[in-house]
């Protein structure tokens, strides 16, 4: 189903060649394709779209017990989102190498993540740390806090 979504997405000119399906207990909760170029949203990868749809359906920010079927090995952003959502297992068709050969090379992201923030190609500098810590202090003491 994920592969069919990916192929249909390309054939119908809707976006990139990526599809993702989220299933729990045999029920398809979400089946989504990549919509980056259609929606002008660089985070609208198939897996992220499917996570959003499944969470909305379940009215939950966690997808425990869910399996994800993707047309391709998830990129670093999608893999992180899948971990945050607490999905159980990811099954994928194409590899990251296959994606790179098709023009979707994420290897530079893996390289960047390994570097200290100050050495990455996109400059990152900490500022206002004493002010910023107030947000975490508020979180630690919040009666409305929902851990995740």
- Residue 46 tokens read as 């198939």
DSSP annotation of 34: -
Identify the active-site residue in 12, 27, 32, 47: 47
What percentage of the chain exceeds 70 in pLDDT? 100
Residue 148 has pLDDT above 90, yes or no: no
- Residue 111 tokens read as 């390289």
Tens digit of pLDDT for each residue in 131-144?
999 999 999 999 99
Per DSSP, what are the bridge partners of residue 90?
Answer: 68
pLDDT for position 51: 98
What percentage of the chain exceeds 90 in pLDDT? 90
Q: Any idea what the Cα angle at residue 77 is, between residues 71 and 79, rounded to 5°?
A: 60
pLDDT for position 117: 87
Q: Which of 7-21, 30-44, 69-83, 101-115 has the lowest mean pLDDT?
A: 101-115
pTM of the model: 0.91
Distance CA 34, CA 44 (A): 6
H or E element: which one contains 92? strand 89-94
Active site residue 47: yes
Q: What is the mean pLDDT of residues 64-74?
A: 97
Distance CA 94, CA 80 (A): 18
Q: Which class for 20: exposed (0-12), middle (13-18), buried (19 or more C-beta within 10 A)?
A: buried
Residue 7 has pLDDT above 90, yes or no: yes
Dmax over Cα atoms in the chain, in whole Å? 52
Tens digit of pLDDT for each residue in 85-129?
999 999 999 999 999 999 998 989 989 999 988 899 998 888 999
């Amino acid at each position: 189903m994920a592969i069919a979504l990916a192929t249909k997405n390309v054939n119908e000119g809707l976006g990139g060649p990526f599809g993702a399906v989220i299933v729990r207990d045999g029920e398809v909760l979400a089946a989504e394709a990549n919509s980056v170029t259609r929606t002008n949203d660089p985070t609208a990868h198939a897996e992220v779209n499917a996570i959003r749809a499944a969470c909305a359906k379940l009215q939950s920010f966690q997808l425990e017990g869910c399996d994800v079927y993707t047309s391709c090995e998830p990129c670093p952003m999608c893999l992180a989102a899948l971990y945050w959502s607490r999905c159980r297992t990811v099954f994928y068709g194409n590899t990251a190498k296959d994606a790179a050969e098709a023009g979707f090379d994420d290897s530079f992201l893996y390289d960047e993540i390994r570097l200290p923030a100050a050495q990455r190609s996109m400059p990152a500098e900490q500022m206002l740390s004493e002010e910023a810590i107030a947000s975490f202090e508020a979180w630690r003491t919040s009666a409305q806090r929902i851990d995740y």
